[in-house]
Every structure is written in structure tokens, then in C-alpha cells.
Amino acid sequence: MSVPLKLTLFGANGRMGKELRALIEEDRRFAYACGIDRQEIIEQGMSPRQERALSLSKGILEPTDVVIDFSQPSAFMELLGALRSRPLPLVSGTTGLLEGHRQELLELSKSVPVIWASNFSKLGNLMVSLAGEIARIADTEDLEILEAHHKRKKDAPSGTALSLFDALKQENQSLRPVFSRHGDGMKRAEGDVAILAIRGGDVVGDHTLFCLGEGERLELTHRAQSRSAFAKGALLAARWIHGKPPGIYTMADVLGIRA
Ligand code: NAD
């Protein structure tokens, strides 16, 4: 039996953090090094060593092979600062990042291996790759994206919806995102791609890419039924990235999806 991969979770108290913790604890290939969250206290009964490691102001102190981050954009610079002081491979799924965050991530990837993905689920990534193929073939059809998430989600549209648009745009540079339609003069212009978000209930994450033609249409839908689909993908990414040279990698690399 090989040595378990030691994982530190950033955003450990959140919905994804808890899902990951549960999966780590039932899988002998992984060990929970520590959890870091804004509230600092993850749960009762932690060892003194784990408690010391909770505050990022002291840096990541626990022996760790890979850091997994599902937090929020406002925490991102703090995390990158800690990783600059202690270089460790990073798997991040935090969405709503700004251009400045991305530049810093790129900078960090010169010294450590990094995977950032808007969607860690296997089938979600397959959908993004199929979106590129659809855009390549759909020369006369109209493309539109609709996503649905639970009502506590802070950013909109979702990172996956934006990744779907990026995949379309890679095949057809003339496409333009349209984030809302309201009022007069909203007739669809050639090359427009609406990226629309609905929010409510406990929807984990649904995405549909519409390819609308004359006399027919294709609707490609992915529905995440539980967060475990994302958490399992993040753990797969953590195993894959461990030992890799510095650089930015994608879930397509992890899953062997051809570009
Ligand atoms: P959540 O709000 O339940 O959890 C976020 C956690 O981060 C909270 O516990 C919060 O206290 C913590 N946090 C905030 N600021 C912090 C700081 N400065 N230091 C340490 N911890 C801090 O959210 P969630 O549903 O778990 O999602 C987290 C992120 O992951 C969101 O951006 C979400 O969109 C994204 N997400 C990505 C995927 C994917 O596959 N890439 C899947 C699900 C969610």
C-alpha cells in the first residue's frame, strides 16, 4: 500500500470543503493534513498541531503534499501569499476570480504545479470539450448557454458557463457573450451567445448548451446531482498533480481529454 497523499483544505468549512473531508476520510489513498477556514476552528477534538496550522497568517504548517482550495475570490490572494512562502502544488476550484487573480496564479505556476478548473466533474469537462466540437460544426446555428444553481451561490454566471463560452470562442472567434436581455432592441445579433443564470433551491449545478438551427435543435445538458462529482474530480487532480513540474495544468490533462 502506497503512502497516503497528505491534503490541506482551504475553505474547509464550506460545502465543498466538507464534501472533500468526508471523501478523504473514507479513502486510504489520502490523509487529511489540516483544514483552513475563515472561522479558524474546523471542529472540536483537533490535535494541537492541527490547531496551530489553522491560521493562514502563520502559513501552512502541517506536512502537506497538495493544497485543495474551494473558498472565495476574496480569500485567493491570501492563499497565494501563503503558497509563495511555502511552495506546494495547488488544486483550486474557486470561481468568480478576476483577471488580477489569474495573473497571480500564472505567476505562482512558475514555481509550483497548479490546476484551476471551473468544474472538476468528469462529465462536466466532457461537456466543455463537446462544446468546442459543436461550435466547430455549427456554422449556421445559434448557440446559447443556460445555467442553474442553488440560491446561495455568490457569482454569476457560473465558472462552468464561462468555460463553455471559452470553448465555443476557441472555435469561432466572432462569438460574443451577452449576459442579459431585457427591453426593446434585443433582437439576437449574429454571433451573440447569451450566458444566462437562474438561481434557486438546492440545485447543485445544471448547464445546457443550446445549438438552435432551422427545423432542429440540439440541447447538451450536464446536471451535477451532488457535490461529490466535483470533490472526486478534485481528489483525482490532486493525485495527478503530485510530483509534476511547475506549470498550469487543466482537468482535460488529468482526464486525458484531447484538445
Ligand atoms: P461555501 O461558501 O460553502 O464555502 C466557502 C468557504 O470558504 C467558507 O467556509 C468560508 O468561510 C471560506 N473562506 C472564505 N474566506 C476565507 C478565508 N479568507 N480564509 C479561509 N477560508 C475562507 O462555498 P462552496 O459551495 O464550498 O464553494 C466554494 C467555491 O468553490 C465557490 O467559488 C464555488 O463557486 C466553487 N465551486 C467550484 C466547483 C468546481 O468544480 N470548480 C464546484 C463547486 C463549487
Q: Which ligand 1 atom is at minimum distance from the Cα of 71?
A: 7
The domain covering 5-116+227-255 belongs, at the CATH homologous superfamily level, to NAD(P)-binding Rossmann-like Domain (3.40.50.720)
pLDDT score of 247 more than 80: yes
What percent of the chain is modeled with pLDDT above 90?
81
**Ligand 1-lining residues (CB < 6 angstroms):** 10-11, 13-17, 36-38, 70-72, 75, 78, 93-96, 117-120, 230
Provide the pLDDT for residue 207: 98
CA of 70 relative to ligand 1 center, distance in Å: 4
- Please give the average per-residue pLDDT across 59-77, as a whole number: 88
pLDDT score of 23 more than 70: yes
Residues acting as catalytic residues: 149, 153
CA of 36 relative to ligand 1 center, distance in Å: 11
CA of 193 relative to ligand 1 center, distance in Å: 28
What percent of the chain is modeled with pLDDT above 70?
90
Domains 5-116+227-255 and 122-224 share a fold: no
Provide the pLDDT for residue 1: 64
User: What is the average pLDDT score of the chain?
Assistant: 91
Spatial CB neighbours of 115, under 8 Å, sequence gap ≥ 6: 90, 91, 92, 237, 240, 241, 248, 249, 250, 251, 253, 254
For the stretch 74-87, pLDDT in tens is 999 989 988 998 89
Q: Which ligand 1 atom is at minimum distance from the Cα of 234?
A: 40
> Which residue among 9, 54, 71 is best mutated to probe the pocket of ligand 1, counting the most ligand atoms within 8 A of its Cβ?
71
Q: Which ligand 1 atom is at minimum distance from the Cα of 121?
A: 40
Provide the pLDDT for residue 39: 55
Domain range summary for the chain, segments of one domain joined by +: 5-116+227-255, 122-224
pLDDT score of 166 more than 60: yes
Provide the pLDDT for residue 34: 86
CA of 97 relative to ligand 1 center, distance in Å: 12
Distances (CA, A) of 126 to 70, 132, 207, 247, 258: 21, 10, 12, 22, 10
Q: Which ligand 1 atom is at minimum distance from the Cα of 78?
A: 18
pTM: 0.89
CA of 59 relative to ligand 1 center, distance in Å: 19
Nine-digit cell string for 159? 465558472
pLDDT score of 5 more than 70: yes
Confidence band for 35, pLDDT divided at 50, 70 and 90: confident
pLDDT score of 167 more than 60: yes
> Which residue among 16, 36, 251 is best mutated to probe the pocket of ligand 1, counting the most ligand atoms within 8 A of its Cβ?
16
The mean-pLDDT minimum among 51-55, 99-103, 127-131 falls in 51-55
- Please give the average per-residue pLDDT across 127-147, as a whole number: 97
Class of 122-224 in CATH: alpha beta
Q: Where are the beta strands (DSSP E) in the chain?
A: 5-10, 30-36, 66-69, 90-92, 113-116, 142-149, 176-178, 192-199, 205-212, 217-224, 247-249
